[in-house]
Structure 1
Amino acid sequence: MIDDSLLLELKKIGMSEYEAKVYGILSALRVASAREIHEQTRIPRGRIYETLTSLAEKGFVVSSGKLPVRYSPIDASQTFERLKKESIDSLEGLYQRLKVLETETPEQLMQGYELRTEWTRDTQIRMMLRRAKTEIILLCNDMEFLTRYANDISRAAKRIPLYLVVGREELGGVTQVKCYVGGNDIESSFFHAEAGDAMGISLKLLLMADRRESLSVMEENGTITGVFICPDMYAGYLSRKILQEIEQVERSRKKI
C-alpha cells in the first residue's frame, strides 16, 4: 500500500490529498481504470474523474482515450526532471509550461510494465480477473499461486469462459473450475523448458484476458518479477493456439 510519508512528499510538490493518493496508486499499478482506482483508494467516485483530470492537466498522468478508459502515470524520471527544472522559474512560468503540456498529444499509453512488488502483482492479477469481459486463459504450474487466487478464479469462471491450464493434473483440484492440460508445445514452452532452452527462468503464472492484455509472473535465480502488457498484440494469437492444444482433465482424476 502507499504509505503516509509518500503522500506527504507528493503534497509538498503541490498535489491535493486526492491527487497524491491517485498518483501514488497509479505509480504502483501502472495501468488502472477509474473504478479500480476508486476501489484501491476509497476516494468517492464523484471525485475520481475530477482528480484524474487535474493530474492529466498537470502532466502527471495520461489516459488511453479509448473505451474502457484506462489511466497510467507518465514516466516518473521524465516527470520529475521536468519539475526540477521548472522549480527555478516563477509560478507564472510554471503555469504557462503546464498549459502548453495540455495541448500536446499524450504519449502512447499501453505498453509493457514491470511489476516489482508482491502487492502490485497480486492487485493487478485480481483486477484482471474481475474486469475481464469475454474470456480468461490462465496458465499456472504453482500450487501457492493457485491456492492464493482460487476464490478469484472461481468467481471469474461463473461470469465468463475461463480456461485454467495446469502443468500437473493434480493441481486442478485446488480450484472448483474446469482445468486443462496442454500438449507438448505448451509443456516445453511454458512449464518444462527443454534443456537447450533453459535460461534459469521458470513461469509461475500467465494470465491473458479478453485476448488483449496479459500478465506473466516469472522466477529467475530466486527473484520473482511480473510483466503487464496492454494491449498485448500477441495475446489473441497465443490464446487461439493454446485453446487448440489443450484438453480438459476429468474431475475424477483431479485429486491432490
Structure 2
Amino acid sequence: MIDDLLLLHLKKIGMNEYEAKVYGILSALRVASAREIHEHTRIPRGRIYETLTSLSEKGFVASSGRSPARYSPVDVTQTFERLKKESVESLEGIYQRLKALETETPEPLMQGYELRTEWTRENQIRMMLKRAKSEVILLCNDDELLTRYNSEISRAAKRVPVYLVVEREELARIVQIKCYHGGNDIDSSLFRHSTEENIGVSMKLLLMADRRESVSIMEDNGNETGIFICPDIYASYLSRKILQEIEQIDRVRKRGESRVTQSTDAPERE
C-alpha cells in the first residue's frame, strides 16, 4: 500500500523507518487504531504506540482521545506548509550565522603549502583559474604547461582579465588570448637567473589570482615541485609591478618591424 520511494522521501524530512511506515499507512487509511496499523505495517505492537507518540509530538498525527484511541494524519497541506516555513527559517538562521562567522573570523596569516605530486599541482592551478573573480596574472615559460592548461586559461579570460606573460614569443601562439612580454627585469628575475646569483631552481609557472593567492611551479635538477600560498601578502605588490612592466607581444613585434622598415628605407650616405 505504501511504496519504497515515498518511504525514502519521508526519511529525508527527518522520519525514521517506523515513523515513515506509520505515517504512510495512516495517510492511506485516513483513520486507524494502533492494532490496525500494526496489522498493515507488521511493526511490533510495543513500538507502534511509541511511534504514534513521536509523530504526534512532531505534528504529523492526531489522536481521537477516546478508548480505544484512533489516529489520523493532520491535514497534509497544513502540515507541509508548516514544514516549508520551518525549513526556510532554519536555513536562513544557518546562513546568517555563517555570514557572521566570515566577519568574526580574522584573516589567517600567510600560509604556504608544498604541492609535491603532479595531481595536487594540476588540481590547484585549475581551481585557481576557475574561481578567480577579478584578475589573473600568469607567467609561464613552459610550452607543455601552457598546452595542458590551454582550455582553463581561455575560459578564465572570458570572465576576468588574464595577463599571460611569456619569455619566448612562440609560446604566445599556444593560447588564443592576448600575451605579454615582461622585459629584462621580469625575464632575469623570474624566468632565468644569472650564474652570479647561484640559483639552481628554474621557474616554470607563476599564477596569481585576485592579488591574494599564488601558486608557483619550479624545477630543480629535473625534479618538479609547487608552492601554494594563501593569503599571499606579496601578491598585490608583485601584481602591480608586473602590470607596470609588461607589454603586449603584438606591439613589441610591430615596433621591431617598424625599426627594420625605417632602417631599410633610410637613404644611403655617400
**TM-score normalised by length of structure 1:** 0.56
Aligned to 2:23: none
SS of the equivalent of 1:237 reads helix
Q: How has the CA–CA distance of structure 1 residues 250 and 212 changed in structure 2, closer, same or farther, with 3 Å as cutoff?
A: same
May I ask how many residue pairs the two structures share in their alignment? 153
SS of the equivalent of 2:207 reads strand
- Measured after TM superposition, the shift of residue 120 of structure 1 is 0.4
Q: How has the CA–CA distance of structure 1 residues 167 and 201 changed in structure 2, closer, same or farther, with 3 Å as cutoff?
A: same
Aligned to 2:143: 143
Q: Distance in 2 between matches of 1:188 and 1:146?
A: 20
- Measured after TM superposition, the shift of residue 66 of structure 1 is 3.6
Checking the alignment, whether the CA contact within 8 Å between 2:109 and 2:231 is kept in structure 1 is no
Aligned to 2:121: 121
Checking the alignment, whether the CA contact within 8 Å between 2:108 and 2:231 is kept in structure 1 is no
Q: Deviations over 1:8-38 (max 9, x none)?
A: xxxxxxxxxxxxxxxxxxxxxxxxxxxxxxx
Aligned to 2:236: 236
- Measured after TM superposition, the shift of residue 194 of structure 1 is 1.4
Aligned to 1:191: 191
Structure 1 unaligned regions, length at least 5: 1-64, 68-104
Aligned to 1:182: 182
Larger CA deviation: 134-143 vs 183-192: 183-192
SS of the equivalent of 2:165 reads strand
Q: Deviations over 1:222-252 (max 9, x none)?
A: 1100000000000000000000000001199
- Measured after TM superposition, the shift of residue 198 of structure 1 is 3.4
SS of the equivalent of 1:231 reads coil
* Aligned-partner residue type, residue 137 of structure 2: I
Checking the alignment, whether the CA contact within 8 Å between 1:206 and 1:215 is kept in structure 2 is yes
Structure 2 unaligned regions, length at least 5: 1-100, 255-270
Q: How has the CA–CA distance of structure 1 residues 122 and 251 changed in structure 2, closer, same or farther, with 3 Å as cutoff?
A: farther
Larger CA deviation: 183-192 vs 211-220: 183-192
Q: How has the CA–CA distance of structure 1 residues 205 and 227 changed in structure 2, closer, same or farther, with 3 Å as cutoff?
A: same
Q: Deviations over 1:145-187 (max 9, x none)?
A: 0000001000000000000000101100000010000111101
Checking the alignment, whether the CA contact within 8 Å between 1:214 and 1:230 is kept in structure 2 is yes
Aligned to 2:49: none
* Aligned-partner residue type, residue 178 of structure 1: K
Q: Distance in 1 between matches of 2:195 and 2:240?
A: 27
Checking the alignment, whether the CA contact within 8 Å between 2:164 and 2:179 is kept in structure 1 is yes
Q: Deviations over 1:57-90 (max 9, x none)?
A: xxxxxxxx548xxxxxxxxxxxxxxxxxxxxxxx
Checking the alignment, whether the CA contact within 8 Å between 1:169 and 1:253 is kept in structure 2 is no
Aligned to 1:73: none
Q: Distance in 1 between matches of 2:203 and 2:209?
A: 18
Checking the alignment, whether the CA contact within 8 Å between 1:170 and 1:253 is kept in structure 2 is no
Aligned to 2:259: none
Q: How has the CA–CA distance of structure 1 residues 66 and 114 changed in structure 2, closer, same or farther, with 3 Å as cutoff?
A: farther
Q: Distance in 1 between matches of 2:102 and 2:232?
A: 15
Q: How does 1:66-145 map to 2 (within 5 A)?
A: 66=102, 108=108, 111-145=111-145
SS of the equivalent of 1:189 reads helix
Q: How does 1:58-69 map to 2 (within 5 A)?
A: 66=102
Q: Distance in 1 between matches of 2:107 and 2:133?
A: 27
Q: Distance in 1 between matches of 2:173 and 2:102?
A: 39
SS of the equivalent of 2:233 reads coil
Aligned to 2:88: none
- Measured after TM superposition, the shift of residue 108 of structure 1 is 4.5
Q: How does 1:143-182 map to 2 (within 5 A)?
A: 143-182=143-182
Checking the alignment, whether the CA contact within 8 Å between 1:183 and 1:245 is kept in structure 2 is yes
Checking the alignment, whether the CA contact within 8 Å between 2:142 and 2:204 is kept in structure 1 is yes
Aligned to 1:210: 210
* RMSD after superposition: 2.4
- Measured after TM superposition, the shift of residue 110 of structure 1 is 5.1
**TM-score normalised by length of structure 2:** 0.53
Higher helix share: 2
